[in-house]
Structure 1
Amino acid sequence: MTSGTTRPTPPLTPMKAIHAGSGDPLLLLHGFMMSPHCWEQVAQRMAGHCEVFAPAFAGHWGGPDFNGWYIDVSALADRVEDQLDELGWRTCHIAGNSLGGWVGFELARRGRARTLTAIAPAGGWETPSTLQLRVGLKFLSMVPFVEIGKRLPHALSYSAPARQAVAFLLSKNTSAASRRGIEAAITSAMNCKAMLPMLVSGLRFPALEDLSTLRTPVRLLMCENDRVIPNRLYAKRFLQELPDSADRILVHDVGHVPMLEAPDRIATLIAEHVYASRTRLRAV
C-alpha cells in the first residue's frame, strides 16, 4: 500500500458474494468486520481450478440483515448452509480467516466440509476465559475509531494515515497490501451492523467442541506477525487438539489477514490442501 499516492481507486460497493470459476466447490469465509472484498485476489487465482463462492456474513457489509441483538457463530453457519443448499453444494472445500475459520470449523462439524483451511482462526479459547475476554476487549476498543470514522469527511476516513493504521493492524508488510483492499477493510468496518451485537453477545458464545474428534482434513495456517490474535496465545488449543493428521503451518512475514499482502502464497496453500484431498495424499 503506497500511502503517499493520490491516484483514485475504483469505487467500492457492497458485495453480497464472489462467485466465479469452475471445478471443485470452494467456500471462502471472511473475518469479523470484513467482507468478501478481502478474498478478491485469492478468488481470482483459485477460479481457474475451483468454483469459488465467498459470501458476506449476516450483519456484515453486503450480507443479509439479522433481527435482534444476539448473533453467534452457529447463526452465521446456518445462513451459510442455506446458501450452500441454494448452490446445490452438499459438501465443499472451505477456507476461512479469523471468524471465518471459526465458522469453517462449525460447518466441518456439521459434515459440510471436504477439507478445511483455517487461517488465523478465531475461537481458540474456552468459554468463559481470560483469552475470550481479552480478544473481546481488543475489538471493543476499535468501536470508537469506527464510529468517529463514520462521521469524518471521506478524505479523512480514507486518508493515508488512516489506511496505514489499518494496514498495520491487518498485515505485516503494509506496502504489499493494495490500497483497494485496505479501503475495503475500512468500509467494511464502518458498515458492519453486527459489530456491537456480536461483541455484546460474545461472552455467551459456546466454545468450539473438542477438535480431536474432527474427521475433516484440516490445514491450520498461523500468521507469524498476527497483531489481532497472536499465535502464542490463541493458537495453543488448535495446536494441541487437532488430530496428528492435520497440517500445522506457520506462514512467515504476514499479518492477521494474509490474503491482503500475500494472495499468491495463500492461494497456493489452499490449493495444495484441496489437491491432497483429491489424490488421498496428505499435503506436507
Structure 2
Amino acid sequence: MKQPIHCSTRTGTTLGYAQHGTGPTRVLVLHDWLGDHSSYNDLLPFLDCNAFTYVFADARGYGKSIEQTGEYTIEEMASDCLELVDQLGWARFHIIGHSMTGMLTQRLAANARSRVASAIAVCPVSAAGNRLSPEALAFFTSTMESDEALRRLLKFVSGGLCDGWVDRKIRQNRETVSPGSRAGYLEMLVTTHFVEDVRGLDTPFLVIVGDKDPGLDAIAMESTFLAWHPNAELQVFYGCGHYPMQESPPRFATVIENFLTRHST
C-alpha cells in the first residue's frame, strides 16, 4: 500500500518540504524555476514508498519556503539543502534536481562528495549556467509579469502541450513563487559558472532529457554533464518535453528508481 504524503513546514532558514514514503533509501528532490515541489505531484502514485523516502524541498521563495528571502545563489541553495538533510538526520542521500536545480545536483556533489550517493539531473541547466542573449533574457524576465509570455515559454519547452496543462502551470507559478525569488534565481542561472569544481567528479549521475525540450537536449548534455562526469549516463524520453515527471510519470518513476536502486549501498 502506498504511504501518504507527510508535509512539514520549517521556520527560519531551514527549507520547507513535503515527505513521501518511509523507505531506507533517502532522496532529496528539488524543483525548477517556474514551480515549487508540487511540480512532482503527478509522479507520487507511482513511487515505491516502502523502498524510498522522498523529501520534496522548496527553495527560498517557493511553496513552503515562500516567505524566505536570501541571496538566491547556488552556494546558498546548496547550504540550505545540507542544513535540511542534517536536520532530517541523513548522513548519506541521493539528489534529484530539475532544470534550474540541475546545477544544484553538481554543486552538492562537489560540496558533499562523501554524502551524495548519486545524482539525477532532469532537463538540467549545468554548472556552466545558461548564458542568454539580451533578447532572450528580456523574454524570460517578461514571463515574471506577463501570463501571455509565460504561456509562450511553457508551450515552447513542452513541445506544445494542451492549454489545460499550461493554465495549471501558470496558476502554480503565480501562487507558489515569490516575485523576488523569480528575479534572483534568473540572475543565478545566467551568471553562475563553476565547471572546474565538478570536472572529473565521479559521483554516479543520471541525466534525463526530453527530445522535445529545445536547448536542453541530448547534444547539450554530451558537452556538459557527460563530458565532465565519468560516471554519468543519459536517458532520453522520446515524445517528451521539459517536464517528464508530468508528461510521463510512470516511466519517470521506473527510470529514477531503477537508477537509485543500483546506487543504494
TM class by shorter chain equals 0.7 to 0.9
Counterparts in 2 of 1:237 and 1:148: CA distance versus 1, 3 Å: closer
> Quick one: which amino acid aligns to residue 169 of structure 2?
I
TM-score by length of 2: 0.79
Counterparts in 2 of 1:43 and 1:34: CA distance versus 1, 3 Å: same
Counterparts in 2 of 1:225 and 1:17: CA distance versus 1, 3 Å: same
Counterparts in 2 of 1:213 and 1:251: CA distance versus 1, 3 Å: same
TM-score by length of 1: 0.74
Partner of 1:152: none
Q: Which whole-Å CA distance do the structure 2 matches of 1:79 and 1:56 have between them?
A: 10
Q: Which whole-Å CA distance do the structure 2 matches of 1:261 and 1:177 have between them?
A: 13
Q: Which whole-Å CA distance do the structure 2 matches of 1:102 and 1:177 have between them?
A: 30
Counterparts in 2 of 1:71 and 1:163: CA distance versus 1, 3 Å: closer
- Offset of 1:91 from its aligned partner? 1.6
Alignment identity in percent? 19
1:22/1:47 contact within 8 Å kept? no
> Quick one: which amino acid aligns to residue 21 of structure 1?
G
Q: Which whole-Å CA distance do the structure 2 matches of 1:250 and 1:62 have between them?
A: 31
Deviation string 1:142-171 (CA, Å, 9 cap, x unpaired) is 33243134xxxxxxx8xxxx8964642342
Partner of 2:59: 57
1:41/1:263 contact within 8 Å kept? yes
Aligned Cα root-mean-square deviation (Å): 3.1
Hey, which bits of structure 1, 4+ residues long, moved more than 6 A? none
- Offset of 1:103 from its aligned partner? 0.7
Question: Aligned ranges for residues 39-188 of structure 1 at < 5 Å?
Answer: 39-48=40-49, 49-63=51-65, 64-67=67-70, 70-109=71-110, 110-111=112-113, 112-125=115-128, 132-134=131-133, 138=136, 140-149=138-147, 165=152, 167-172=154-159, 174-175=161-162, 178=165, 182-187=169-174
Q: Which whole-Å CA distance do the structure 2 matches of 1:188 and 1:250 have between them?
A: 31
Query: Which segment drifts farther, 97-106 or 137-146?
Result: 137-146
Corresponding residue SS for 1:141: helix
Rg comparison, structure with higher value: 1
Corresponding residue SS for 2:28: strand
1:35/1:61 contact within 8 Å kept? yes
Counterparts in 2 of 1:261 and 1:192: CA distance versus 1, 3 Å: farther
> Quick one: which amino acid aligns to residue 132 of structure 1?
R
1:146/1:190 contact within 8 Å kept? no
Structure 2 unmatched runs, 5+? 1-8, 10-14
Partner of 1:29: 30
Residue 236 of structure 1 pairs with residue 223 of structure 2: yes
Corresponding residue SS for 2:95: strand
- Offset of 1:255 from its aligned partner? 0.9
1:181/1:260 contact within 8 Å kept? no
